[in-house]
A and B are shown apart, each in its own frame.
Chain A
Amino acid sequence: MASVISSSPFLCKSSSKSDLGISSFPKSSQISIHRCQKKSISRKIVSVMAPQKDRSPGTTGSVKTGMTMTEKILARASEKSLVVPGDNIWVNVDVLMTHDVCGPGAFGIFKREFGEKAKVWDPEKIVVIPDHYIFTADKRANRNVDIMREHCREQNIKYFYDITDLGNFKANPDYKGVCHVALAQEGHCRPGEVLLGTDSHTCTAGAFGQFATGIGNTDAGFVLGTGKILLKVPPTMRFILDGEMPSYLQAKDLILQIIGEISVAGATYKTMEFSGTTIESLSMEERMTLCNMVVEAGGKNGVIPPDATTLNYVENRTSVPFEPVYSDGNASFVADYRFDVSKLEPVVAKPHSPDNRALARECKDVKIDRVYIGSCTGGKTEDFMAAAKLFHAAGRKVKVPTFLVPATQKVWMDVYALPVPGAGGKTCAQIFEEAGCDTPASPSCGACLGGPADTYARLNEPQVCVSTTNRNFPGRMGHKEGQIYLASPYTAAASALTGRVADPREFLQ
């Protein structure tokens, strides 16, 4: 029974939709339908509901139309009492984030369309975070940071996390690092708000119960001038994760499991809403990891209902008032998926797609050349803590070059200052050194997306790399024939120790 649930979690394409009483179904979606598993717990049965596009607001009479979290956030932000999936609405933006790669282009378009002397809609709602191509000699990359400095000066942008001394990141008091981690750490993520960023992983902020999604330069240029954006209300797919999280499992395993289930286009144009007892037990950083890879399933945004964990994190970092929202009990969801997390195993995404899921233990014959621990997905404080915990438990040295790139200055400091639980007072940095890892590098996006040729840990040869990053399409980390296995920090650390793709249970149980 248990093995049925864990090896083929719940989903299969059903040709007889009429079994579940569904009459209409979006043709382009790749929704799989659960089949009744009569021999297991009845909670595992999932119902799939057709999207309710025909309901018009004025005809519902006295029955209140339920809305999902995302619908509520967008309704409020567009000053409407009700929105339904499919509505095209103008939405007020609370925070716009941009970085060194897309910022210059976004501001360029802003000036072209609104005029050279135009002013941004609100200099306190824009957060400029250089993070992509920072520690490089590439002149264009350096130029882009300078361009952003000029724009921020001219526009009086309040939040510009600048860097001028590229040789020593610690000499830059304002510099943070990876934008999505910095946004959270600096208190820019608040429940109920609308946050847009010129980066696909902006969906990370959905962990805070807000609407957060990535946009391009042109849309960003528009927002810079108006503070508004035209959005189509997405339908919501609900993912309910219950059960106690095994000690060897992390949020990265959960999201890789889900993406492997629904495919890289399984959530296209849709919201992925995560809830359940497992979600409630996750820390904010783990929730961020989960929402971070929503875009890898094609999702428009990811969202997690705010709770005490959220409020505790947020209230310590911002004094801006906010108002959380929650999905109504009678809200409509376009799909429902349930997972019993206690039965799940560590997984990887094999080359060359984030949905090419496999059990880590089934890949133990794959010899690897290096390990990379970093990025917005897997370079936060808790990610390094996890890797250090595994290295400490193993008490051995790594067999392959192991590159560590803390996402932000704060993470870097935590790696050097915080004691790892159960390690007798040792810090992550000490444990990494003893294990023979490379010295933790300057915080930035690093080699997650390849970058200029001199980027630290870039894949310049056709090697096999286990990485805590988010994408593994051909050429993602540099070399076109590089083979990238996406994994959790535990799995990455275990693999570093064996020189092969390894299941962390080899060291954690």
Chain B
Amino acid sequence: MATSQQFLNPTLFKSLASSNKNSCTLCPSPFLQLKSASTIFNYKPLTSSSATIITRVAASSSDSGESITRETFHGLCFVLKDNIDTDQIIPAEYGTLIPSIPEDREKLGSFALNGLPKFYNERFVVPGEMKSKYSVIIGGDNFGCGSSREHAPVCLGAAGAKAVVAESYARIFFRNCVATGEIFPLESEVRICDECKTGDVVTIEHKEDGSSLLINHTTRKEYKLKPLGDAGPVIDAGGIFAYARKAGMIPSA
């Protein structure tokens, strides 16, 4: 990674055990880190079962003003195959939970990927627990097909997943990921789902040219991921509302 680091206000590195998306006052988006402070990059091998997020700030030239850089994701991956529909992600019976109510959202997280058939041996969330130990979901084609219910990306985000890397997405699910900011949707160029196993340790890094890289530390393989494309500005802004405010479509809060 060819990014130079400027330490304007060196601060101690903080590793976040879990991310509460609404608590960061500096970050309008879960995926943004504005360059107002810098942190020292510190890679920690995963020792516990909880997911760690390591944030890194990339420097920009001083005359370009704010630089926006995307969060690096690191943790265990959970591997799925093709056509994972929304009812497998969150069975429709949990659709009575309202994602905008915090207690309901937490409950949704505990049921994430409950609908998977027996073919999948591991449970994404262990029964009785509220969160998952997996932070990156890897999928095949047509991930998230089926319903438009936002409960699908919400439950994954609520369970603690940070990103999903699929070969391709169904459009409503992808759109809901972008609009809500619950989970970062990325597209792979090859069938990563055939080369990774549930429990592999992975890191997703974002490059300055807009593309991303998935590194599987367990298999020691790297995979280039596709740039976000048109959804990029919306994701970078922090979802549809933040984007609309930036674009002047709606008044700032």
> Across the interface, do A476 and B87 meet the contact criterion of CB distance under 8 Å?
yes
CB < 8 Å: which of B87, B145, B249 contacts A228?
B249
CB < 8 Å: which of B100, B142, B150 contacts A265?
B142
Chain B nearest CB, measured from A227 CB (Å): 11
In the complex, what distance in Å separates the CA atom of A226 from the CA atom of B92?
Answer: 29
Is A260 in the interface zone, CB < 8 Å from B? no
In the complex, what distance in Å separates the CA atom of A96 from the CA atom of B93?
Answer: 24
Given A219-B179, A475-B88, A298 and B145 touching (CB < 8 A)?
yes
Given A198-B148, A216-B172, A222 and B241 touching (CB < 8 A)?
yes
Chain A residues near B241 (CB, 8 Å)?
113, 218, 222
> Across the interface, do A268 and B168 meet the contact criterion of CB distance under 8 Å?
yes
Chain B nearest CB, measured from A41 CB (Å): 34
In the complex, what distance in Å separates the CA atom of A16 from the CA atom of B85?
Answer: 33
Is B175 in the interface zone, CB < 8 Å from A? yes
Chain B residues near A353 (CB, 8 Å)?
83
> Across the interface, do B98 and A105 meet the contact criterion of CB distance under 8 Å?
yes
> Across the interface, do B244 and A473 meet the contact criterion of CB distance under 8 Å?
no
> Across the interface, do B168 and A265 meet the contact criterion of CB distance under 8 Å?
yes
Q: Mark A259-272, 1 if CB is under 8 A from B, else 0.
A: 00000110011000
Segment 224-250 of B: residues with Cβ below 8 Å from A: 230, 234, 239-241, 243-244, 249-250
> Across the interface, do B100 and A105 meet the contact criterion of CB distance under 8 Å?
yes
In the complex, what distance in Å separates the CA atom of A112 from the CA atom of B101?
Answer: 11
One of A132-140, A364-372, A421-429 at the interface: A132-140
Chain A nearest CB, measured from B22 CB (Å): 10
> Across the interface, do B85 and A218 meet the contact criterion of CB distance under 8 Å?
no
Given A218-B240, A264-B142, A473 and B92 touching (CB < 8 A)?
no
In the complex, what distance in Å separates the CA atom of A132 from the CA atom of B147?
Answer: 13
> Across the interface, do B95 and A133 meet the contact criterion of CB distance under 8 Å?
yes
> Across the interface, do B98 and A449 meet the contact criterion of CB distance under 8 Å?
no
A-B contact count (CB 8 A): 150
Q: Mark B138-174, 1 if CB is under 8 A from A, else 0.
A: 0001100111111001000000000000001111100
> Across the interface, do A471 and B96 meet the contact criterion of CB distance under 8 Å?
no
Chain A residues near B97 (CB, 8 Å)?
140
Segment 106-121 of A: residues with Cβ below 8 Å from B: 108-109, 112-114
CB < 8 Å: which of B88, B96, B171 contacts A474?
B88
Is A232 in the interface zone, CB < 8 Å from B? yes
Chain B residues near A444 (CB, 8 Å)?
none
Chain A residues near B150 (CB, 8 Å)?
102, 105, 216-218
> Across the interface, do A138 and B96 meet the contact criterion of CB distance under 8 Å?
yes
Interface size class of B (residues with CB under 8 A): 35 or more
Given A200-B147, A230-B240, A112 and B100 touching (CB < 8 A)?
yes
Chain A residues near B148 (CB, 8 Å)?
102, 197-200, 202, 214-216
Of residues A112, A114, A217, A478, which shows the largest number of chain B Cβ atoms within 10 Å of its Cβ?
A217
Is A451 in the interface zone, CB < 8 Å from B? yes
Chain B nearest CB, measured from A449 CB (Å): 4
Q: Mark B57-96, 1 if CB is under 8 A from A, else 0.
A: 0000000000000000000000000010101100111011
Given A215-B172, A218-B176, A265-B141, A141 and B96 touching (CB < 8 A)?
yes
> Across the interface, do B170 and A298 meet the contact criterion of CB distance under 8 Å?
yes
Is A168 in the interface zone, CB < 8 Å from B? no
CB < 8 Å: which of A108, A147, A216 contacts B176?
A216
CB < 8 Å: which of B85, B170, B240 contacts A219?
B240
In the complex, what distance in Å separates the CA atom of A471 from the CA atom of B149?
Answer: 15
Chain A residues near B239 (CB, 8 Å)?
218
Is B127 in the interface zone, CB < 8 Å from A? no
> Across the interface, do B83 and A219 meet the contact criterion of CB distance under 8 Å?
no
Chain B nearest CB, measured from A371 CB (Å): 21
Q: What are 26 A-B residue pairs whose CB atoms fall within 8 Å in the complex?
A: A102-B148, A105-B99, A109-B100, A113-B253, A200-B147, A200-B148, A200-B172, A202-B148, A215-B175, A217-B100, A217-B150, A222-B241, A226-B250, A265-B141, A265-B170, A268-B170, A268-B171, A298-B142, A449-B92, A450-B91, A450-B93, A471-B85, A473-B87, A473-B88, A475-B87, A475-B115
Q: Report B's interface with A, CB cutoff 8 A.
A: 83, 85, 87-88, 91-93, 95-101, 115-118, 141-142, 145-150, 153, 168-172, 175-176, 179-180, 230, 234, 239-241, 243-244, 249-250, 253
Known: A202-B148, A473-B83, A481-B118. 18 other contacts (CB 8 A): A104-B98, A105-B99, A108-B98, A112-B100, A113-B253, A216-B180, A217-B180, A218-B180, A219-B179, A222-B241, A228-B249, A265-B170, A268-B169, A449-B147, A471-B146, A475-B88, A475-B115, A476-B92
Task: State the 8 A-B residue pairs at the shortest beta-carbon distance, nearest first.
Answer: A108-B100, A214-B148, A140-B96, A216-B176, A216-B150, A218-B179, A449-B92, A265-B142
